[in-house]
Structure 1
């Protein structure tokens, strides 16, 4: 317990040592993550840890904490360790079968809601490459008259999204299917959402370890130029949008012009773009020509 003032197997001692180890491993918020992992191991709230830092940690919880800490030191994502992640107003189950929902993607939800003068205008929603169901379920939570369909190539992802719909009280307004983009989809939708793979193939191994090692390459790799999925989407969208409908696509950094070019060639019109909190153009809104 070098450098830690608290004795033995106390809450404070575990937090201090874990914080030092996480910092040495290059974790950006080591103290916060140490609290999250210990609270999860003790099945308590983080604030409960601060009430009595000298409280003893039971052996069983200490064992759980040690196992989680070793996984985090190997750069496994926190969402995998905790089994969940927050997105919009929802708590979503996460597994290695899908991308972890990120705050940057909330820009897609914001752009989708802003694209209509009223949530009541959004009645039929399609989410292509749904993953955890994050985008679709966030929109459904804001649009009580809407029904949504989520599609993912991964059966595990489609099943996960269905569980998340049930856990958030949205199962009766959402259906999830396994398929390749919109190949098996009929009908037209007021809103089409997608967070497609958009990382250039050569860049995937260079991503931060949490992403490159632990998140599915299928959901990351956008081909040699990062645009493969956008080409498929641009071709499909004109046949999916209802009159007055909108598509909202997540973008990688610097991709707006290229994706707009693909959309225009397919007969779609760029309507708006929205930045994420980091200032990156993250959401592109498209409509019919």
Structure 2
């Protein structure tokens, strides 16, 4: 079978299965199998594909037709100009989350300590360390399987100087966390439980539910993190969150109630609320007035 015939067969199978962007996915899977690029379809469409590559490609097409995410088939996803390993144990990094990383980078200075709560693949923390100097990072997640992926990404993406500055910890949020940090960042589960069932099957059925489900109203993990984060922030330390498009006001109020100041909401490129951050201020009790 030729390169073009493989592609056309993949397109038809994915279109029949109702896959969004079927033609794009068919091409990307073929490129991943054959080690080619987007120009090869035009320039070398008549080139024969080896039987081994054809078998692998059609196998991937069959799995993609069952709504298994493309990134889980190829095992990777680009994020912040870096290529991260992913599998069924971690959320696939989204472009929207790059907004969160960019906002943190504006406040991140050399030598700071960063805590990434609910680290998953490590894409947030490792991007921050890659694009900064001499910062230290701790990635925390409840899932041991997710932490294995994060550690693999750290080994692949960080140079020797930075590799010793990142650590990962299995913990139920702050239960096992020690020390203080200049910045805490988190992309926690924030989808209301009832809404999870309405997600596209690629997400609902194939990405880890524990990384999606924010319980009844989607705010459970924001409440817990905001209540505990102050104990682990230095004076005037900052807390950053990714949020759902309709959660900006609620998360902002939760932060203000717990003593955060200069709370801001940042929108993504679609004009939707995407990031909330603020500075933690310890309120000192007013001194007793002296009796006369």
Tell me what 1:142 maps to.
Answer: 131
Q: Deviation string for 1:199-234 (max 9, x for gaps)?
A: 000111110111000011100000100011011111
- 2:151 counterpart of 1:162: yes
Structure 1 position 43, deviation (Å):
3.1
Moved more, 30-39 or 85-94: 30-39
In the other structure, the counterpart of 2:85 is: 93
Contact 1:162 1:171 in 2 (8 A): no
* Maintained 8 Å contact 2:252/2:263: no
SS in 2 for 1:274: strand
1:58 Cα offset (Å):
1.1
Q: Does the 8 A contact of 1:22 with 1:73 survive in 2? A: yes
Q: Displacement, 1:159?
A: 1.4
Tell me how far apart the structure 1 counterparts of residues 167 and 224 of structure 2 sit (CA, whole Å). 22
Provide, for residues 164-201 of structure 1, a one-character-per-residue CA deviation record: whole Å limited to 9, x for no partner.
01100242221011111111111111111100000000
SS in 1 for 2:189: coil
SS in 2 for 1:27: coil
Alignment partner, residue 119 of structure 1: 109
- 128, 145, 153: which one aligns with 2:142: 153
Q: Distance in 1 between matches of 2:216 and 2:259?
A: 24
Choose which of 74, 78, 86 in structure 2 pairs with 1:82.
74
Q: Using the TM superposition, give the Cα deviation of residue 26 of structure 1 relative to its aligned residue in structure 2, in angstroms.
A: 2.9
Output the CA distance in 1 between the equivalents of 2:227 and 2:152: 31
| 67-76 or 243-252: bigger deviation | 243-252
Q: What do the CA deviations read for 1:239-281 (whole angstroms, capped 9, x no partner)? A: 1211232111010111011111211222222532221222211
2:173 maps to 181
Structure 2: tracts of 5 or more residues without a match: 282-292
Equivalenced residues, count: 278
For residues 209 and 215 of structure 2, the distance between their equivalents in structure 1, rounded to whole angstroms, comes to 11
Q: Answer yes or no: is 1:22 the counterpart of 2:22.
A: no
Checking the alignment, whether the CA contact within 8 Å between 2:239 and 2:280 is kept in structure 1 is no
TM norm structure 1: 0.92
Q: Displacement of 1:145 after TM fit?
A: 1.7
Q: Distance in 1 between matches of 2:133 and 2:38?
A: 33
Q: Distance in 1 between matches of 2:69 and 2:261?
A: 38
Instruction: Decide which structure has the larger Cα Rg and report it.
Output: 2
Q: 1: CA distance between counterparts of 2:28 and 2:81?
A: 19
Unaligned runs of 5+ in 1: 1-8
CA contact (8 A) 1:39 1:49 kept: no
Please say if residues 108 and 250 of structure 1, whose CA atoms lie closer than 8 Å, have aligned partners that are also in contact. Answer: yes
- Please, what is the CA RMSD of the aligned residues? 1.4
Indicate the residue corresponding to 2:201 in structure 1: 209
Task: Quote the Cα distance in structure 2 between the aligned partners of 1:140 and 1:48.
Answer: 36
